[in-house]
Structure 1
Amino acid sequence: MFALTAKEIATAVHAQNIEDAWEMIEINTVGFDSRKIKAHSLFVPLISENDGHDFITQAIDNGALATFWSNPLQDAPTSIPVIQVEDTLKALQDLAEYYLNKIHPKVIGITGSNGKTTTKDMVEAIVSSQYRVHKTQGNFNNHIGLPITILEMPQDTEVIILEMGMSHAGEIKLLSDLAKPDIAIITMIGESHIEHLGSRARIADAKMEIVSGLKENGLLIIPGNEPLLVERASSLKKEQLKTFGPSPTNDSYSIQITSEMRETTFTTNLNPAVLIKLPVTGTYNVANALAALSSGLALDIPIEKAAQKLATFQLTENRTEWLAGINNSALLNDAYNANPTAMKAVLNNFSQLRNEGRKIVVLGDMLELGEQTNELHLSIKKVLSVDEIDQVILYGTHMKILYEALKSDFDKERLHHFDGDKKAMIAFLKELIQPKDYVLVKSSFGTDLLSVIKALRVTTD
């Protein structure tokens, strides 16, 4: 999406060799997968499980006009410019930073244990009402994906929205230092990655790394009901911090909330006369919307205009989406990500939905919880009401402990566990599901319950 010459690229990444003749070679896209390289591309041979340098011939055949190179030059191709660098990944990041500075859009960075993608989609809807916007696609939110997102940015972009993911301490700092956000949003602190970080406090430390690159007059937006974040943000200037949440102590707070199967409505202190409608279920999505509204206000977007855009915003696939299910049922697909805080929020909302059939929950293992795995899986028991949920189907090794704990509440006809046999679980569900049933599927991505969704949904293809 950019137009840079090979010489400009080499200069931007402080290459060890720069040729004047490269000024005539124009590059307009970048890629690291040789199979997906397009014409006029810069190939970035990354080194991980495989060495990307080994695939240079395929990249050239597919249209690469230049390549980064960190192996010996005698092993390099001679048919295209070879930009010699010490580290091809660092060169990719340096090039992204150069291009970001050249286009100079406003930067909104979003992180959090849950709700990053939903908030990103909401922010895009609001900001696009007044600006030309580019955002992270899919899960391109790490040290490779974020630079690629920047380099795919159209040259007329006015605001770029960058999702920032992490597994370990230090990763958000790298992304923030690269992107230098004007506005930074932390959606929440949950238990995701507690296996690597050890505690919610250390997760908060890691998420707060987003302020590392925050511009001097930048704005941090955080949930005001999270003491771990409020405490860590206390060193910021008053004008650099906005809070959101359910209570009037926040800068932005909700007043009235109603959640139905396909819609959530609420009003706010920002303008109580404006009814805000979200085309998604879940009272927990109100917090995401408040964060998005706060970013819009920071960019001078009126609440009335923001509300209009939120009413029709498009949610990224696999995030609490309703799908047509077998036997005239309705599937609530939330099988892309899970942590205890998020799972409890979804279950609380699902339990309160009104329907004519039964409510069935299919819950898979939550991953990366470390030493607290058993305790945190057990905590889900608090939100599984025998009066609200008709059938509980649990999947995976970690969910076995929850299964044992629920035996005292649910009789054996309503409680089921499958260790690892998805085919058996799918066959069971196909027999179980009846017309008008609501079926929630929630798990960590690594359990692959998306394959269960695929087996239970009805498509029009």
Structure 2
Amino acid sequence: MDLTIKEIAEVLGSSQTSEQKITNVEFDSRKITTGDLFVPLKGTRDGHEFAAYAQESGAIATLWSEDVSEAPAGLFVFFVSDTKKAFQKLASYYRQKLAPKVLAITGSNGKTTTKDMTEAVLAQKYQTYKTQGNYNNELGLPYTILHMPETTEILVLEMGMDHAGDLTLLSQIGQPDAAAITLIGEAHIESLGSREGIAKGKMEITAGLKKDGVLFIPVDEPLLSPLIRPLNQKVVTFGLKEGMVQAEVLNTTKQSTEFSIDGKNFLIPVIGSYNVKNALVAYSFGHYFGLSNEEIAAGLKNFHLTKDRTQWSKAANGADILSDVYNANPTAMGLVLDSFAELTLPGRKIAVLADMLELGKDSKQMHRQMAKHIGDSLAEVYLYGSDMEALYQVLKDSNKDVFYFTEDRKKEMIEAIKRDIQAQDSVLLKGSNGMGLAEVIIALQEK
């Protein structure tokens, strides 16, 4: 890391003069190594309580917003009024210092997959660094910036939001050269009130977008149309068979999807037309930064998904498991159910669906609407969680085997699934992360 004690002091208005370099910046004291700067943040516990432990682990400096007399001896101390804001300010400075091109990606669904695709594409030509895991909020984004290698030429930032104003802050810290919105769904509708509110929230990604920058948006999202009119930056639309950048899906298998753009064929190692839309964003970023179709195709073909996003694995008895359990909203669940239905697979198709959280007062109705995505190709459906009862009431009298389990019956559900599935079956698991379907996957994999 290319930051000195003196440099940090100048950024934060402190008075240190040492030219000693900082090795890294960490806000988790358990990750501290020799030469690090510790950032104590206030959460369930006050991070200041762990400064001594950070020092023992090798920290040489710390931010400090508590009483001056309580500051740890033996550390370079940067006195600030708010450690989180100071952390964010330091990240903004570091981005300016290294001066990579910055890409920003947001959306109700697909932003992590799109980030992974985009980084893989741009890595064909540039030194790239991307948001690791789901570090996409007011802490994770500055952490990502401060952890990028000094050689980074393009920084790919995933930007998440829970409330109005979140993306304004992240975009102003990141100052993107180009940005993309994958889609407008229902994620966080409880706090944003409506899909219109979500669309406005996603458009905040333009708050820090460079004046000569570009914004990529889905052509089939009418809620964005009135919001882009005041923009001075270039707007490019993408979509399946429509938009300024278009793709046509050619073939889908269990392991991949093939599609074409302007007569050139591409392949991605994931299922679903919705993932082709994500690939269109990566393609657009690639062309924006001068990559050839061949370079883009190589990146897309070999990109690696962040864990728990539409991943295939094996159950202990040989059945195939399609896991998409990191998060869920009606748009995302409908898309993956439709894509699963389109696949030609041996044996039966079984779906295990858990509650979609944070949908607000219309949650039960949104769960009921999933019935239109449960077609004849699904042999059995397991429903789990209090809101999934609404879907069960719709499906229980159908000619399909449907099983419903409350949240206190997870072990019972797991045992039922294990007894039921056969070696030739394929099992889709989809639900919000808070519902713990990852435990079900582990149980199915255990011999």
TM-score relative to the length of structure 2: 0.98
1:67 paired with 2:55, answer no
Where does residue 366 of structure 2 map in the other structure? Answer: 376
1:245 paired with 2:244, answer no
Contact 1:114 1:187 in 2 (8 A): yes
* Number of matched pairs: 446
Contact 1:181 1:215 in 2 (8 A): yes
Contact 1:254 1:268 in 2 (8 A): yes
Give the counterpart of 2:275 among 285, 298, 308. 285
Give the counterpart of 1:106 among 72, 82, 101. 101
Contact 1:358 1:390 in 2 (8 A): yes
Question: What secondary structure does 1:284 align onto?
Answer: helix
In 1, Cα distance between equivalents of 2:320 and 2:23: 44
Instruction: State the one-letter code of the partner of 2:234.
Output: Q
Question: What secondary structure does 1:3 align onto?
Answer: coil
Q: How does 1:162-201 map to 2 (within 5 A)?
A: 162-201=157-196
Q: Deviations over 1:421-445 (max 9, x none)?
A: 2111111011000011000000000
Contact 2:257 2:268 in 1 (8 A): yes
Question: What secondary structure does 1:26 align onto?
Answer: coil
1:322 paired with 2:344, answer no
Contact 1:43 1:66 in 2 (8 A): yes
In 1, Cα distance between equivalents of 2:102 and 2:365: 39
Q: How does 1:285-304 map to 2 (within 5 A)?
A: 285-304=275-294
Q: How does 1:58-457 map to 2 (within 5 A)?
A: 58-237=53-232, 240-248=234-242, 250-269=243-262, 272=263, 274-385=264-375, 387-411=376-400, 414-420=401-407, 421-457=409-445
Identity of aligned residues (%): 47
TM-superposed deviation, 1:172? 0.5
Question: What secondary structure does 2:60 align onto?
Answer: strand
TM-superposed deviation, 1:246? 1.2
Instruction: State the one-letter code of the partner of 2:431.
Output: S
Instruction: State the one-letter code of the partner of 2:382.
Output: I
Contact 2:384 2:404 in 1 (8 A): yes
TM-superposed deviation, 1:259? 1.2
Contact 1:257 1:283 in 2 (8 A): no
Instruction: State the one-letter code of the partner of 1:19.
Output: Q
TM-superposed deviation, 1:257? 3.0
Q: CA RMSD in A?
A: 1.1
Contact 2:321 2:427 in 1 (8 A): yes
Contact 1:441 1:449 in 2 (8 A): yes
> Structure 1 residues 150 and 221 mapped into 2: Cα distance closer, same or farther (>3 Å)?
same
Range 150-159 or range 253-262, more displaced: 253-262
TM-superposed deviation, 1:458? 5.6
The unaligned stretches of length 5 or more in structure 1 are none
Contact 1:331 1:457 in 2 (8 A): no
Question: What secondary structure does 2:298 align onto?
Answer: helix
TM-superposed deviation, 1:325? 1.3
Contact 1:326 1:430 in 2 (8 A): no
In 2, Cα distance between equivalents of 1:88 and 1:310: 39
Where does residue 6 of structure 1 map in the other structure? Answer: 5
In 1, Cα distance between equivalents of 2:341 and 2:399: 15
In 2, Cα distance between equivalents of 1:183 and 1:149: 18
The unaligned stretches of length 5 or more in structure 2 are none
In 2, Cα distance between equivalents of 1:59 and 1:85: 18
Question: What secondary structure does 2:105 align onto?
Answer: strand
In 2, Cα distance between equivalents of 1:7 and 1:129: 37
Instruction: State the one-letter code of the partner of 1:426.
Output: I
Instruction: State the one-letter code of the partner of 2:21.
Output: E
In 2, Cα distance between equivalents of 1:397 and 1:28: 48
Contact 2:88 2:173 in 1 (8 A): yes
Q: Deviations over 1:342-391 (max 9, x none)?
A: 10010011111112200000000000000110110011000101x21100
